[in-house]
Amino acid sequence: MSGAPAFSAEEMMTVAASRMLRNGDVCFVGIGLPSAAANLARLTHAPGVVLIYESGPIGAKPDALPLSIGDGSLAETADTVVSTSEIFRYWLQGGRVTVGFLGAAQIDRYANINTTVIGDYRRPQTRLPGAGGAPEIASCAGKVILVLRQTARTFVERLDFITSVGHLDGGEARKRLGLPGDGPVAVVTDLCLMAPDPATKELTVTHLHPGVTAERVQAATGWNLRFAEVVEETASPGTAELRTLRELKRRTARAHGRTADA
Amino acid sequence: MAEVTSLRNAVEELVHDGDFVALEGFTHLIPFAAGHEIIRQGRKNLSLVRMTPDLIYDQMIGAECARKLVFSWGGNPGVGSLHRLRDAVENGWPQPLELEEHGHGDLSNAYVAGASHLPFAVLRAYAGSDLPRYNDRIRFIDCPFTGERLAAVPAVRPDVAVIHAQKADRKGNVLLWGILGVQKEAVMAARKAIVTVEEIVDHLDAWPNACILPSWTLSAVCCVPGGAHPSYAHGYYERDNPFYCLWDGISRERETFQRWMKRHILDTEDFEEFRRVLQEEMAKEVR
């Protein structure tokens, strides 16, 4: 690609993730990258998407992105706010959530998620924040979309800990385990889009973002990565998508009194 | 009936060394003032339960109040790690911390089971997860009707629950609104409960379905304006997001953490003085 791109890799990732949501989806939103993408979808092509946060707001429409999962703006703009136990019982486990939008510290080739620990659980090299609502979301949401930056440290051959299950060891594992939801159907990174192979459930690169090579994606992956027979190029962010995302980031920075990288 | 009293009295009377204590509040209404008072009074060997430990448990763990933590997400929201929690887990400083780790759906419903006086909560989760391998309090049962395999977790029944709310009336009936988290469940599950409030009013003026904890379900109600800072109280003040960012630097090293704790908590009389000192110190930072 010649010249500097008109958008950043992070913007490409957020826009690509936002395109996965549709009007009519009921989306259980994780904080950080998933929240940015879900709100971008709401502000662009999917104004009818319902955003649920684990702190209790249902139908949240925040003007700026929340810094925490329980910011006041979520409650103020929601259709209703219920207790945290109710969110998980009636709304998630009750089968009302069509999409779980999650981030992760690490994933493996079957999109299993580690947010607990790097190294041995009892003698951790790095202690991560832990599960949050992800084990229940990964079990019960209709499907799961993962959004995370891709490096050889985040896309690993073997997870030290499976916090939230993706497709476990592949194939029909989820059915065997009796999990109600379909599990991960897409992984969106700053380099590419992946989807599980229909039979083996191993993640397969389906799209490369503009300017990204297959070699670069492989170098940022800890296992021998599979590519679809025909790998397409992800459509670049449109003018309206970029403008809306940048305005959202600006409002967010203003709201939290810091620069727009939250 | 709840006694309307000072926070110092409430903590003195109701929180004891070795107790199983829940300070709840999901991002919103986190009872910071009460946590500080527990630190000030030097409580030791507490078993702490909280869905999201947040800065308040980071402070209590670093101040050597806790031997065990039951939790489901332990980070500084939107910022990064809880450094004092990590130091305790990774290096046993200032004392080793036993972890009992759950997910949010699990722990929130363990409170519901506690409030319902049932032995356990049941949920559809954890198949394929490693959490049950490291936490033997997550187990599986077969549904007696369908045979479906479901996860079961024991009820949470704290000795003391501590929450912050917006208002109480003069009898000690408490009203809260906005993001409710599991505060009501924690209070109903616990043997004793302390509630700090923004203000005490003549009439609560609430709708019939509002979240109210009748005075007779509580042990103590204490008026502590601003008592949830740096978290927020819906309708009163916003979350102090810059402080959450600042905490990352304060808590990263043991020395800066201890200096901050001494200046702001150990050397202050109460939450009011804490807030005054914090304001002065923050003003210095800006200059």
- Domain residue ranges of chain B, discontinuous segments joined by +: 3-102+157-281, 123-154
* Chain A, window 120-139: residues with a beta carbon less than 8 angstroms from a chain B beta carbon: 121, 124, 126-127, 129-136, 139
Q: Which residues make Cβ contacts (< 8 Å) with residue B191, sequence separation at least 6?
A: B157, B158, B159, B160
* Chain B, window 92-151: residues with a beta carbon less than 8 angstroms from a chain A beta carbon: 101-106, 108-109, 111-112, 123-131, 134, 148-149
CATH code for the domain in which residue A178 is found: 3.40.1080.10
Q: Is A259's pLDDT higher than 80? A: no
The stretch A18-25 carries a mean pLDDT of: 97
Q: Would you place residue A2 in the very low, low, confident or very high pLDDT band (cuts 50, 70, 90)? A: very low
The reply to whether A202 belongs to the active site is no
The stretch B6-34 carries a mean pLDDT of: 98
Contact B182 A173 (CB under 8 A): no
Contact B104 A84 (CB under 8 A): yes
Q: Which residue of B has its CA nearest to A133?
A: B104
By Cβ distance, the residue of B180, B182, B239 closest to A71 is: B239
Q: Which residue of B has its CA nearest to A183?
A: B128
pLDDT tens figures, A196-253: 999 999 999 999 999 999 999 999 999 999 999 999 999 999 999 999 999 999 999 9
The torsion defined by the Cα of A237, A243, A248 and A253, in degrees rounded to 10, comes to 110
Overall domain count for chain A: 1
| CB-CB neighbors (< 8 A) of B100 in chain A | none
Integer Cα distance of B128 and A161 in angstroms? 11
Q: What ipTM was predicted for this assembly? A: 0.93
| Alpha-carbon gap: B9 to the closest alpha carbon of chain A (Å) | 30
Which three-class secondary structure string do you get for chain A? CCCCCCCCHHHHHHHHHHCCCCCCCEEEECCCHHHHHHHHHHHCCCCCCEEECCCCEECCCCCCCCCCCCCHHHHHHCCEECCHHHHHHHHHHCCCCCEEEECCCEECCCCCEECCEEECCCCEEEECCCCCCHHHHHHHCCEEEEECCCCCCCECCCCCCCCECCCCCCCCHHHHHCCCCCCEEEEECCCEEEEECCCCCCEEEEEECCCCCHHHHHHCCCCCCEEEEEEEECCCCCHHHHHHHHHHHHHHHHHHCCCCCC
pLDDT of residue B1: 86
pLDDT of residue A258: 57
Q: Answer whether residue A105 is part of any domain.
A: yes
| CB-CB neighbors (< 8 A) of A164 in chain B | 129
| CB-CB neighbors (< 8 A) of B72 in chain A | 130-133
Q: Is B148 exposed, middle or buried (0-12, 13-18, 19+ CB in 10 A)?
A: exposed
pLDDT of residue A5: 55
The stretch B82-89 carries a mean pLDDT of: 96
Of A78 and A30, more confident? A78
Contact A93 B181 (CB under 8 A): no
**Mean pLDDT estimate for chain A:** 94
Q: Is A30's pLDDT higher than 50? A: yes
pLDDT of residue A1: 45
Q: Is A115's pLDDT higher than 80? A: yes
Q: Which residue is catalytic, options A11, A54, A136, A241? A: A54
| CB-CB neighbors (< 8 A) of B51 in chain A | 84
Q: Answer whether residue A216 is part of any domain.
A: no
pLDDT of residue B282: 84
pTM: 0.95
Contact B103 A135 (CB under 8 A): yes
* Percentage of residues in chain B having pLDDT higher than 70: 99
The stretch B259-265 carries a mean pLDDT of: 97
Q: Is B78's pLDDT higher than 90? A: no
Lowest mean pLDDT among A66-80, A132-146, B81-95: A66-80
* Chain A, window 51-110: residues with a beta carbon less than 8 angstroms from a chain B beta carbon: 54-57, 66-72, 74-75, 81-85, 87-89, 92-93
DSSP letter (8 states) at residue B233: B
| CB-CB neighbors (< 8 A) of B26 in chain A | 55-56, 69-70, 84
Query: With contact defined as beta carbons under 8 Å apart, do A133 and A93 qualify?
Result: no
Looking at the complex, does the CB of residue B32 fall below 8 Å from at least one CB of chain A?
no
The stretch B178-207 carries a mean pLDDT of: 97
By Cβ distance, the residue of B72, B109, B123 closest to A130 is: B72
pLDDT tens figures, B158-185: 999 999 999 999 999 999 999 999 999 9
Residue given tokens 């060997």 in the structure block: B45
Q: Which residue of B has its CA nearest to A167?
A: B128
| CB-CB neighbors (< 8 A) of B246 in chain A | none
By Cβ distance, the residue of A85, A164, A173 closest to B185 is: A85
* Percentage of residues in chain A having pLDDT higher than 70: 96
The stretch B77-90 carries a mean pLDDT of: 94
| CB-CB neighbors (< 8 A) of A121 in chain B | 130, 134
Q: Is A87's pLDDT higher than 70? A: yes
Fold of B3-102+157-281: Glutaconate Coenzyme A-transferase (3.40.1080)
Q: Which residue of B has its CA nearest to A88?
A: B105
The stretch B210-227 carries a mean pLDDT of: 96
pLDDT of residue A261: 44
* Structural domain range at position A138: 9-190+236-255
B25: left (phi over 0), alpha (psi -120 to 50) or beta: left
pLDDT of residue B47: 98
Q: Is B52's pLDDT higher than 50? A: yes
Most A CBs within 10 Å: which of B123, B126, B129, as the mutation test of the A interface?
B129
Query: With contact defined as beta carbons under 8 Å apart, do B76 and B248 qualify?
Result: yes
Q: Answer whether residue A212 is part of any domain.
A: no
Contact B101 A131 (CB under 8 A): yes
Contact A258 B242 (CB under 8 A): yes
pLDDT of residue A13: 98
**To 5 degrees, how large is the angle CA B193–CA B114–CA B97?**
75
* Percentage of residues in chain A having pLDDT higher than 90: 88
Q: Answer whether residue A211 is part of any domain.
A: no
